Amino acid sequence: MLKLIEPKTIVIFILSLYFIIISILFTFYYYTTDGLFSYLSMFFKAISFTWLIIFIFCFTWKYLWKKIPLLSKIFFPNLSGDWIIIIEYFNKEDNKTKKIEGKCQIHQNIYSLSINIQTETSESETLSISADKDLISGYIKLHYIYRNEVIKQDDSSLPDIYLGTAILKIKNDSNNLNGQYFTSRNGKGHFSLSRIQDENSNKK
């Protein structure tokens, strides 16, 4: 599971939102009400409004990311959707580099992200993902560990299930991911992912 927003950022966001709501409510209560219980009610209402906004944000963040592209740069880009993946790998039998094309689904919410890949010969699922961001270039690296299950293969001596790890780079264009991968079968190669664009979004 990948924490897309750092805990420190979440705490700052919640506190800032809370103090903004407190300031607005305090102004209203100062001129319209009097008494200790009225001010206690103000604090409880501020807490309720804060968590209501956070709850709504969790369900509308993709819309906000789409309307405000700057959020992708400040926090983390929205990668959810369907992708085409091209896997380049070294075939030991003929000592040549080969390519295989497959489909990839990335599922993402405000807290986590998972990657599922299907090709004609195998399927993989996410075990763990972590990320780090270069403060100078702004590039993001996904450190991705997965479990791969082979559907069919030429070499029966190789295991049908194995582990793999990859480092996927997200540069200025969040519609393309690239990176090297390594497997527990002593294999290695390159992943190239391209997002499948939504036709409806292109018409807008």
Of 74, 99, 131, the one marking the end of a domain is 74
In terms of domains, do 116 and 97 share one?
A: yes
Residue 164: closest CA among 144, 141, 183: 183
pLDDT per residue as tens digits for the range 23-46: 888 777 766 666 555 667 777 788
Give the chain's domain count.
2
Whether residue 2 lies inside any domain: the answer is: no
In terms of domains, do 69 and 155 share one?
A: no
In terms of domains, do 69 and 85 share one?
A: no
Whether residue 1 lies inside any domain: the answer is: no
Beta bridge partners of residue 129, listed in sequence order: 144
Band the pLDDT of 198: cuts 50, 70, 90. Answer: low
In terms of domains, do 26 and 113 share one?
A: no
Of 31, 49, 74, the one marking the end of a domain is 74
Instruction: Give me the domain span that covers residue 189.
Output: 81-203
Residue 122: closest CA among 181, 67, 176: 181
Q: Could you give the angle at the alpha carbon of 79 between the alpha carbons of 73 and 84, nearest 5°?
A: 135
pLDDT per residue as tens digits for the range 92-149: 666 778 889 999 999 988 778 889 999 988 999 999 888 887 777 778 888 889 999 9
Structure tokens at 56: 């709504």
pTM of the model: 0.73
In terms of domains, do 130 and 152 share one?
A: yes
Across residues 173-182, what is the average pLDDT?
A: 89
In terms of domains, do 55 and 140 share one?
A: no
In terms of domains, do 70 and 87 share one?
A: no
Q: What's 180's domain CATH number? A: 2.40.128.380
pLDDT reported for residue 1: 40
pLDDT reported for residue 179: 93
